[in-house]
Amino acid sequence: MREIGRWIAANAGRRTAEQYLNRLRAYCSRFDEFSERGTRRDDLRPGFRTIGFERRITIVFAVFEAEVVILRLLYGGRDVEVVVAEDDGVD
C-alpha cells in the first residue's frame, strides 16, 4: 500500500494519495462481509481470489475459515499471473 501511495503522491499529489488510500482501506476492511466475492483464481493457487478496486487496483486475497487475507495489491494493470509466479520463486 505504501508503494501505491508513493506513486500516487508523486503523480497526483499527497492529498489525492491519502484520499485514495483511505477509500482502498475502507474497501478492504469490508472483506469480512461477503468474503467470497471476486473471481476464484485456483489457476494461480488453490483458494486465491481476485477483485478490482476503482478500475486501477487488483486485490489478490484468500478466504480462510476465520479470516480473509489480502495477499497482494497490484496497481495499474500488473499481470497477476506474472506476480504470483515471481512470488513462487521466492519461496
Q: Range of 35's domain?
A: 2-90
Reported as a pLDDT band with limits 50, 70 and 90, residue 88 is low
Those residues with Cβ within 8 angstroms of residue 76's Cβ, 6 or more apart along the chain or in another chain: 56
- Residue 54 φ/ψ region, left for φ over 0, alpha for ψ in the -120 to 50 degree band, beta for the rest: left
The domain spanning residue 83 has which CATH number? 3.30.2310.20
Q: Is 48 exposed, middle or buried (0-12, 13-18, 19+ CB in 10 A)?
A: buried
Domain count, the chain: 1
For 86, the grid coordinates are 515471481
pLDDT digits (tens, 9 = 90+) for 2-33: 989 999 999 999 999 999 999 999 999 988 88
Q: What is the pLDDT of residue 67?
A: 87
pLDDT digits (tens, 9 = 90+) for 35-59: 778 899 988 888 899 899 998 898 9
Q: What are phi and psi of 26, to 5 degrees?
A: -60, -40
Contact 88, 80 (CB under 8 A): no
